[in-house]
Amino acid sequence: MFNNLNFVSRSRIKRVILAAICISLASQVSISTYTLGFTLTLSVFLLPVFLYFNADLNPLVIALGVALSSPLFRGLLLFISHDASNINILQFIMTDMAFYLMYGFLYYVLYWRKSQRNNSIFFLTILLCDYCSNLLEVSLLIHFSNYTYRLFQILFITALIRSLCSCLIIFLYRYFTLLVRDENHEQRYLYFIWVASSVKSEVYFMKKSINDIENVMKNAYQLNQALSQTSLDPKYQTTALNIARDVHEIKKDYQNVISGLGDYFSERNNQPMQLADILRVTTSYIRQSLKKKSHQIVIEVYNQIDLLVVNHYYVVSILSNLIFNSIDALQHQSHGLIKITVSDQGRNIEIDISDNGQGMDAQTLALIFEPGFTTKYNQNTGNVYRGIGLSHVKVLVEEIFAGSINVQSQVNQGTTFKVFLNKGRLINEVDK
């Protein structure tokens, strides 16, 4: 606990020291004006920036650090260069200190300790801090006498310009960081949609597998009953019963997983998406994947339909698997092209995904929609690259969207998948 507190304390001290050093260096860019010792410096552009981005630090501490470093630094340079007498140097140091201490005090009272803060109040605060602090500094130099109207004009115009410039720096930096943050959020959103689509599709097929599991359990139990009527060793009957029980436990585990994931990713917990957004999300994620792998593949999208899709996770899953199937066919192409075309076909929409890849022969075409068929395996290890597969894509198209899918391909010419989805199934929630 105490180590953490010391770390925070050291971190804050470092930030105060950094502010003091930067502002001290910036104070060397200055213009002398009105009276001896009164200079307009670049340092006052930076002070509001440090105050704004270190809102957790007490401005009085920052002002004190700057008040000690910047004037002393200026005084040391004046002393070395012999540009002023020792008395004048001491006077300049004291008036500079007064400027920064006044600035920090006003900022603390007018802005930092207030519960309500916004950009407008911040601008007005630093404008007033700059003006009043400069007025105090010049007043000390002229011994609170010989004021002129021109003096107040110079001080206000100076404070206005410096405050505007400081705010411009602050708000431009904030805008840039927000852009970066939005981009990061979008990347996470794309990844979430991608993962959710995969999970949603897997849950759907897990539900379908429940029937197969029940059949295995039923057959094992019936085998147990049949063995009880024979003179065979009772251990066979016990084995059949154990199989039925084990399969029942597997079924329960499946149902628990399906219940948890199915409820979270159900349509009632997710907002519908425009078809154009589905295409953008899918292709954006895939383009990023291609960029990381340095594949020279261009993905073109031509969409003629504006449709609000309820079961968008399944559409993302269908599109992504077909597009990645095309990418696999383009691995040995120097300039690969994938073209996605969406068109209106009355009651259905047609999605064509074509590539200029290696194509497929007639034997492969006859098998690609068969369960378990794949051409994606590592010849060295024998490991199969797994997705939901084209057979499952076909099931989603037919069962979820009452549609159809077919493929046209020629060796070394390319492949085109044609997917037809029923509009009614796309726009209406269908529990599956």
CB 240 within 8 A of CB 220: yes
Q: Count CB atoms within 10 A of the CB of residue 177.
A: 10
According to DSSP, the residues that pair with 354 across neighbouring strands are: 339, 416
Average pLDDT, whole number, for the chain?
78
Q: How confident is the model at residue 383 (pLDDT cuts 50, 70, 90)?
A: very low
Mapped onto helix, strand or coil, the DSSP state of residue 318 is helix
Task: Give long-range contacts, CB 8 A cutoff, 24+ apart: 165-173.
Answer: 165/45, 166/44, 166/45, 166/46, 166/47, 166/48, 166/49, 166/126, 167/48, 167/119, 167/122, 167/123, 167/126, 169/45, 169/49, 170/48, 170/49, 170/52, 170/53, 171/119
Residue 191: per-residue pLDDT? 67
Sign, Cα dihedral of 257, 263, 266, 271:
negative
Residue 200: per-residue pLDDT? 72
Task: Read off the pLDDT of residues 275-324 as tens digits, 9 standing for 90 and up.
Answer: 888 888 888 888 877 877 767 788 999 998 888 888 888 888 899 889 98
Q: How confident is the model at residue 29 (pLDDT cuts 50, 70, 90)?
A: low
Residue 247: per-residue pLDDT? 75
**Per-residue pLDDT at 106 exceeds 90:** yes
Q: Count CB atoms within 10 A of the CB of residue 104.
A: 25
**Tokens, residue 255:** 């149902």
Residue 37: per-residue pLDDT? 43
Residue with tokens 């704004």, as numbered in its chain:
52
CB 67 within 8 A of CB 23: no
Of all residues in the chain, the percent with pLDDT exceeding 90 is: 16
Task: Read off the pLDDT of residues 222-258 as tens digits, 9 standing for 90 and up.
Answer: 887 787 777 777 777 788 778 877 777 777 776 666 6
Q: How confident is the model at residue 381 (pLDDT cuts 50, 70, 90)?
A: very low
Residue 255: per-residue pLDDT? 66
Q: Kindly report whether the global pTM for this prediction surpasses the value 0.75.
A: no
Of all residues in the chain, the percent with pLDDT exceeding 70 is: 77
Residue 416: per-residue pLDDT? 93
**Tokens, residue 52:** 């704004």
Please compute the mean of the pLDDT values over residues 23-49 and round it to a whole number: 68
Tell how strand 336-345 and strand 297-303 pair up.
parallel
Residue 3: per-residue pLDDT? 44
Task: Read off the pLDDT of residues 42-96 as tens digits, 9 standing for 90 and up.
Answer: 677 888 888 888 888 889 988 888 888 877 776 677 667 766 677 877 877 888 8
Alpha-carbon distances of 112 from 7, 99, 100, rounded to whole Å: 24, 18, 16
Q: How confident is the model at residue 4 (pLDDT cuts 50, 70, 90)?
A: very low
